[in-house]
Structure 1
Amino acid sequence: MTRASGKKSAVTRRWVKNDRLNHAGYLWAFASLRASTGANAHYRRRREQGDWHAAAQRNLFNRMIGQLHHCLQHGQRFDESAAFPVGIEDAAQPA
């Protein structure tokens, strides 16, 4: 992004994401790998599909933030068995 004012011109980077939310999400996803068997299974599945660590962790965070949004919108408590159902994603993957 270029900004010009009078005699000075500055080129700055574009804001793509909220850095604080990104960092919090990184820590949340990383901590959930030990605390949640469903989250760990999701992460491992993404790694087996070829995602690098950061991509698999980012995908896990995106999924978790979607689940948080659902819980807040519907006034429900988080249920790991509903959030990370066992076997459904495995059946959808080609052998």
Structure 2
Amino acid sequence: MLFVGDDWAEEHHDVALINEEGRLLARRRLSEGVKGIEALHGLIADHLDQEGSGQVMVGIETDRGPWVAALLAANYTVFAVNPLQAARYRERHGTSGAKSDKGDALVLAQLVRTDRAHHRPITSDSDAAGEVKVLARSHQSLIWAA
């Protein structure tokens, strides 16, 4: 099992991968978008066992957007962690209290490794919900264009 912490910003993602024992396997800063998510999938693949099997648990401080949709589509278990919960977890396990993107990525990975039972995984939208979103966005666009 792999645990991934993803501290996202508008233009990039800082990620940390740890194993079941909590050992840091990799850290990277990835660009937002297709190239970044491709690099993340490659990084994860590099650390899965030979058959490529195993579960991937991801902690991230948002529950929406194309990046999260890509994580869900890849069949990763994604936990949206409230930023205040992540901050409290960081305070519980560190003394400096200083915020850093790469440090927060590690905090999120550790959080899903040890405390995921206290968080609910994000679920993908049903086909019907996806269709409603498309219709609602189209309707909004038509109204704005008028």
TM-score (norm: length of structure 2) = 0.23
**Structure 1 or 2: more helix by fraction:** 1
**Structure number with larger C-alpha Rg:** 1
